[in-house]
Amino acid sequence: MQIQEILSIVKTQLAIDLNCTPSDFTKPGITFCEAKENPGCRPFTREPRHFEMLTMGDGVIVSADPDVLPQLRELLADKPRDDAFNLPFSTKSGPYFLPTAKPTPLPYIDGFCFEFLEQPQILQLHEHKEFHNVMSPDINRPDVLAVIAKKDETIVGAAGASIDCDMLWQIGIDVLPDYRSLGLAAVLVNRLSIEILNRGKIPYYGTAFTNVASQRVALRAGYTPAWVCTYKASLPL
């Protein structure tokens, strides 16, 4: 898949999730939408007074339950994009990354053994609590593929993919503290991403604004920033 095809598929999926249209992402200003669990949306838990805000770089989409939409319209009225994401009620936001197309394979690191795990082999990673970012805690988003790095038969790093919807597989990564800063995380994410693309699916990678190390991993692994999403908020009464 080329990057434009990837972006088109992702926009279509995000539009389903937010109950908007793909063209809304390029509209200027803020587009307000009533949140709805449409068929095919990614199965993330929606709390009461649900609110999401997302931008792919142009316009801003605000998707929320009908009981909070009027309040959000008032709070966000005439706000520029950057100011909207910096309001105090927005408590959890982060950047999301997509592969630039088919990433160039990073070389495996000498001294480590790398191995892909399919279902049900991947279940063995659930025994390793230190790899909590790799394993999805949600049965509606099953883990489907992983790649591990071993040192002397000990798993020291892993990247895993969960099926968030038919086309989008989300990647998580963990490396044990003693083995960080060696480039393992980027190699694991890179190799897993290439395998996902080879299967006709789209990998994506999310992190926190403050997790600079994780953002560097994404860039080294062949990813580029694609959207920013606020997925948790503490709205005034």
Residue 199, domain CATH: 3.40.630.30
Q: N- to C-terminal Cα distance for the chain?
A: 46
133 inside domain: yes
Average pLDDT over residues 51-73: 93
Does pLDDT of 237 surpass 60? no
Does pLDDT of 233 surpass 80? no
47 inside domain: yes
Does pLDDT of 207 surpass 70? yes
Average pLDDT, the chain: 92
216 inside domain: no
Domain containing 14 equals: 3-99
Considering only residues 180 and 128, tell me which one the structure prediction assigns the higher pLDDT.
Answer: 180
Short-list 49, 45, 54, CA closest to 19 = 54
Residues 124 and 94 in one domain: no
User: What is the arrangement of strands in the sheet containing 143-151, beginning at the earlier edge strand?
Assistant: 30-34, 60-64, 51-55, 223-233, 90-99, 202-206, 168-175, 154-163, 143-151, 113-118
The separation between CA 48 and the C-alpha centre of its own chain, rounded to angstroms, equals: 22
Task: Count Cα neighbours of 180 within 13 Å in the Cβ-side half-sphere.
Answer: 10
The answer to whether the beta carbons of residues 224 and 205 sit under 8 Å apart is no
Residues 87 and 120 in one domain: no
Question: Quick one: pLDDT band at residue 124, thresholds 50, 70, 90?
Answer: confident
Residues 182 and 131 in one domain: yes
Average pLDDT over residues 109-127: 89
Does pLDDT of 236 surpass 90? no
Domain count, the chain: 2
Average pLDDT over residues 224-230: 95
Question: Quick one: pLDDT band at residue 170, thresholds 50, 70, 90?
Answer: very high
Cis check: omega of the bond before 177, within 30 degrees of 0: no
Amino acid 35: pLDDT: 95
Average pLDDT over residues 184-203: 97
* Final residue in a domain of this structure, among 76, 99, 122: 99
140 inside domain: yes
19 inside domain: yes
Does pLDDT of 138 surpass 80? no
Does pLDDT of 86 surpass 70? yes
* Final residue in a domain of this structure, among 56, 77, 99: 99
Short-list 167, 170, 162, CA closest to 13 = 167
Amino acid 1: pLDDT: 78
Residues 9 and 93 in one domain: yes
Residues 139 and 75 in one domain: no
Question: Quick one: pLDDT band at residue 120, thresholds 50, 70, 90?
Answer: confident
